[in-house]
Amino acid sequence: MFINRRVVRLSTAPKLRADAAKNRERLTLTARDLLLSASEPVSLETIADTAGVGIGTLYRHFPSKEALVEAVYRVELDALEQEVETFLAGHQSFDAMRLWLGLYASFVATKHAMHDALRISITPQSGSTSELRARMTAVITKFLCAGQQDQSLRADVEPDDVTLCIAGAVFAATTTSDEKQLARILDLLMAALRVRT
């Protein structure tokens, strides 16, 4: 059967032009600097202005603030994910998960400008799951699977349920002036996940 190669080529999604790729990178880096250093929400207009592009250019790359936050957060989560295997190699799964949750909570708790967008990204919407939430759940799954092997973590829990519990605990604790409350909440969550002997 003859295949029109020109049609096949045109139906393939094109790569970003060099200038478009540069704009996307500039927007991501600018957003990262602003969102990770700001103590209050940062508008998309401010991000576009600081990056030296129009708001239309920003929306072509990122249709919502949540999409932009996820792009920024993706880089941060990469670094956090690298710690999973390190913790699991040196600790029992229960302890490894608690140590990792401490790192994750510290990261999120200090990123005030990202709280609203992160909350929206990780909360269920119309039955869909964001990349951010899926990646978090994948990390939790690793800990739970390892915990089933060494019998330190329960086998009858859904990883995505744990993801939502963690998100709720972290975001709720960021509204309090009690600096130790988040650690106590995470300890309570981990106690619920521990295998009873």
DSSP string, 88-145: HHHS-HHHHHHHHHHHHHHHHHT-GGGHHHHHHHHS-BTTB--HHHHHHHHHHHHHHH
| pLDDT exceeds 80 at position 139 | yes
**pLDDT of 32-73, one tens digit each?**
888 777 767 788 999 999 999 999 999 999 998 878 877 887
Total number of domains constituting the chain:
2
| Domain interval for residue 131 | 67-193
Global confidence as pTM: 0.69
**43 and 95, same structural domain?**
no
Mean pLDDT on 81-91: 93
Domain with residue 58: its CATH number is 1.10.10.60
The residue type found at 77 is L
Residue 2 lies in a domain: no
Distances 64 to 43, 48, 120 between C-alpha atoms, Å: 11, 13, 11
Is the separation of the CB atoms in 181 and 173 below 8 Å? Answer: yes
**133 and 49, same structural domain?**
no
**44 and 71, same structural domain?**
no
Lowest mean pLDDT among 5-14, 120-129, 185-194: 5-14
Is the separation of the CB atoms in 151 and 195 below 8 Å? Answer: yes
Helices and strands, counts by H and E, the chain: 10, 0
**85 and 161, same structural domain?**
yes
| pLDDT exceeds 60 at position 10 | no
CA distance 95 to 90: 9
- Would you state the pLDDT for residue 11? 38
CA distance 151 to 155: 9
**71 and 56, same structural domain?**
no
**29 and 82, same structural domain?**
no
